[in-house]
Structure 1
């Protein structure tokens, strides 16, 4: 059907395809027992659960680091030591100083996300996770070691951000490459669940320490932050390497053994045979094409499309306005008589965390596309109402005088967070972990994550300036972004629920229409054809032995 001719446009031909396969890479390698096992696979094994739980601590570090700083900026001791004295003797942060303290973390994360890929490809996923956990610890030490220099605080957050950004790239990559296909979406989405959990816990810790009138008010929160990278960095050393990474390094038996443990089945099970064969064929194709160059992230098979789509989805995750909502939470809740901003944070953090839990169910049972489109539509409606009430009904000078408007904004703030936490919060990470081929996965995820952190920085730094100019009308900007997100998903995102990573790759290369992708059924043998390099005459002569339906003793 001409598939090889199509694929030959994207890769050079070679004369000896068998040289590209690592020793004992045949997924149908001899086994000790006979017939292929087609018994049902457990939905979730305890090994998969432990792996997902441990590495998701990378998301917790992400959330805890970003959530704690908003509480610091209203603590009296932190203000006095790092703020600027005003004419009336009080202390406050200028927009620039506040923007740098908050935003330099995002600059560090952007750099960390971009530099994580080559390290992860060179030394492996699990070693990279432990290394970047250590970098994050160094950043915490730099911050906690000063009591007078705001520059040191900002630079410490920059160093800590290197670790956070790299972890936000490597952890979803490790999860997507290791997770059994039936739980892959939920496991990668658990990264966002732990982000929300980290934010929530940082709010609670800040609430417990803000009454202390010494450096302990903020140093305790920072100090507790040592625990999370220690758990992640040490715990990951006891986890297996990503089976797909191990396979690419020629450690075929290790990859098979890890897959068997994570699926909870034996080496003769059909799901293991299928996964191993797909990894083999994909690796043969990639090695046949030669060493990947950086420009192939844009010139490889359908790679410009996927690279830009990943960047767009991660950018839109920020442009939905979630961080903006958290930024404005204090003002909104103050209009109802809640004057303690730490209680405000806990309320918003609790909604964000507990509503992320249903997102893990939604991603695997309702699919990626529908969830993102319905979520974007929900957030668009919430933001339109929120911005209209804030702009036309709320008394900006004396919000307590318009309690009805304030209550309406509180309700739609929570409604918005429900929509974000169940859809765009977790599912974007899952999609970005699935749609790239292994050859480019590390670099592409790094670029997409860097885009997320770039917008994170831009929103956190410029929001105070924009707010002073247009106030709650700023919400219309995010409403427009949510509306645009519906069409981006409909026209460009392929449904990947229940499909192997190699099958998802084939769907993009074959230009499967996104709005028809959910019901698309691959023609028999098409995935194998696309991920198997052109064979030499010798290899063709051996083909009759490569696809047994039964494993004999």
Structure 2
């Protein structure tokens, strides 16, 4: 424990890179904690049968808090470290869960969701940054994409807790699941105390020896002269020296030459991930299946649970192959397929549905047509699978790879804040949308996905397999509107090239390394 963290854990990059993903799980817990109670009679009675506008406001309270959390975390992560920011997010989550569980009216519930959202905003921003800074380039995409898998697990587990508790009479049917949300937050905060700080943050704050020690433990089996360790240490060192010559860090750095393009790419990708309609399918899946003609509380809950299981299962191939398939192909294929399936859902709803009264509410619904109902449900499943295997994991991985150390926390916070801003807007607007324009809601999101596909094809370069410092070379190539011309070898460097550049920057600094670089290039 003299290292300040547990060396046995720190020697395994998969454990270090994946444990922080519990922070992503908090987001998933919140999604299904709300979707699972929308047709709970005890919930509706406790909060005075919220209208579509009121329910939209309750749901949107969490992303509103997350938007604020995503903005404040940049200063927090730069000052106290990535690890400590994650720890703080867990404790804030516990406070929010307590307030939600004990809430007796809408105001108290909204307050608890805002505080919980503050935690999710912090965690969803800093966890991908932490993961990208502690993992080697060859496995970075795989580990950062675990953030999305954790979200899907959070959705799934909380939903089944909700499903089980739905058989309980009284307010305990929704208070118990809300109270159990405290457990992951406690595990996250206490567990992170055993893990190392980001080596890039350590070096940026003058702890070079500590940074080298962490890199050696994570990527070299404790050997500080391992080729990959030498390469990473020198690249980080070069970046830190260069950035220190440019002055103090501030949000103004995001507007310096070369940065606005990257900031906009990160923000736009998080925007497209929300405008894809996926979180609409998660938050309001009960409304979606009711519109398809699937009535009955138990039947709806079972159909919903299938969707959540598919979300978990189809994220697994993305985790395994994201560093082989690349970011661009996954994003292009995913947005195309999501657009197609949403157009099909909207077309089926528009062609076979009509306005009807459902439990006292005017609802667009497909009646007495089992084959069309099943087709809508299946297309919804296909849509979820398309997101899970493509946009879901890449939307967290790609922004964390785009930026230099100097502005990484701030730039990623801007991207994540964009995610929560659009999440808030959609969470609030979708219930009235289903109420007033019904099936046309699907056409809106389908069009967004089509636009995203075009945008990604022309403007998003591939970043797979490069160190965070090598990504700098990509954006020095130009190709603003011709991203497909940037090959996977652009920006790649050998140990020899990195060491020569490092010694040119500081002739007094000598680096020992082996002659062979084949292992590094393979890594």
Question: Is 1:131 aligned to residue 96 of structure 2?
Answer: no
Residue equivalent to 2:25: 60
**TM-score normalised per structure 2:** 0.89
Q: Which string of whole-angstrom CA distances, capped at 9 and with x for unpartnered residues, describes residues 327-384 of structure 1?
A: 5533554546562232232111111111111111231110000111011111111111
Report the secondary structure of 2:237's partner residue. Answer: helix
Report what 1:356 is aligned to. 315
Query: 1:389 maps to what in 2?
Result: 348
Kindly indicate whether the alpha-carbon contact (under 8 Å) linking 2:266 and 2:412 is maintained by their aligned counterparts in 1: yes
- The aligned residue for residue 248 of structure 1 is 204
Cα distance in structure 2, aligned partners of 1:487 and 1:527: 36
Matched, 1:114 2:71: yes
> For residue 226 of structure 2, what is the aligned residue in structure 1?
269
Following superposition, the deviation at residue 396 of structure 1 comes to: 4.7
Contact 1:329 1:345 in 2 (8 A): yes
Aligned length: 493
Which residue number in structure 1 is paired with residue 424 of structure 2? Answer: 457
Partners of 2:413 and 2:490 in 1: CA distance: 31
SS of structure 2 residue aligned to 1:268: coil
- Matches of 1:548 and 1:414 in 2, distance apart? 52
Question: Is 1:482 the equivalent of 2:449?
Answer: yes
Using the TM superposition, give the Cα deviation of residue 196 of structure 1 relative to its aligned residue in structure 2, in angstroms: 0.7
* Deviations 1:1-49 (CA, angstroms, capped at 9, x unpaired): xxxxxxxxxxxxxxxxxxxxxxxxxxxxxxxxxxxxxxxxxxx997112
**1:77-101, Cα deviation, whole Å (9 max, x unpaired):** 2211112xxxxxxxx2112321221
Matched, 1:197 2:153: yes
Q: Is the 8 A contact 2:24 2:148 kept in 1?
A: yes
Cα gap change, 1:283 to 1:67, in 2 (>3 Å): same
1:435 is aligned to 2:392: no
Q: 1:306 to 1:252 in 2, by over 3 A?
A: same
Distance of aligned partners of 1:298 and 1:139 in 2 relative to their CA distance in 1, 3 Å threshold: same
Which range moves more in the overlay, 514-523 or 310-319? 514-523
Partners in 1 of 2:511 and 2:199 — Cα distance?
22
Tell me if the contact between 1:103 and 1:457 (Cα under 8 Å) persists in the aligned partners. Answer: yes
Counterparts of residues 374-413 of structure 1 (less than 5 Å) = 374-397=333-356, 399-413=366-380
User: Which of structures 1 and 2 has the bigger CA Rg?
Assistant: 1
Does residue 1:97 correspond to 2:54, yes or no?
A: yes
Q: How far, CA to CA, are the matches of 1:380 and 1:69 in structure 2? A: 26
2:4 aligns with: none
Secondary structure at 2:353 match in 1 = coil
Instruction: For 1:125 and 1:418, locate their aligned partners in 2 and report how far apart those are by CA, in whole Å.
Output: 32
Assess, with a 3 A threshold, how the Cα gap between structure 1 residues 383 and 453 changes in structure 2: closer, same or farther: same
SS in 2 for 1:502: coil
Q: Deviations over 1:491-513 (max 9, x none)?
A: 22121111100001221133255
Instruction: Quote how far apart the aligned CAs of 1:399 are.
Output: 2.2
Contact 1:306 1:436 (C-alpha < 8 Å) held by counterparts: yes
1:163 to partner: Cα distance? 0.5
Return closer, same or farther for 1:69/1:331 CA change in 2, 3 Å cut-off: closer
Match of 1:141 among 85, 88, 98: 98
Contact 2:29 2:155 in 1 (8 A): yes
When residues 549 and 480 of structure 1 are mapped into structure 2, their CA distance, relative to the original with a 3 A threshold, is: same
Q: Could you say what secondary structure the match of 1:365 adopts?
A: helix
CA distance in 1, matches of 2:416, 2:490: 31
Going from structure 1 to structure 2, the CA distance change for 1:548 and 1:413 (only over 3 Å counts) comes to closer
Gaps of 5+ in 1: 1-43, 84-91
The question of whether the paired residues in 2 share the 8 Å contact of 1:284 and 1:531 is answered with no
Would the alpha carbon gap of residues 523 and 186 (structure 1) be closer, same or farther in structure 2, given more than 3 Å must change? Answer: closer
In 2, Cα distance between equivalents of 1:418 and 1:524:
36
Q: In structure 2, what is the Cα distance between the partners aligned to 1:426 and 1:527?
A: 32
In structure 2, the residue matched to 1:510 is 477
Deviations 1:204-260 (A, max 9, x none): 000011121222111110111011011110100100111111111111122112112
| Whole-angstrom distance in 2 between the partners of 1:503 and 1:530 | 15
| Equivalent position of 1:33 in the other structure | none
For residues 501 and 68 of structure 1, the distance between their equivalents in structure 2, rounded to whole angstroms, comes to 36
Q: Determine helix, strand or coil for the equivalent of 1:67.
A: helix
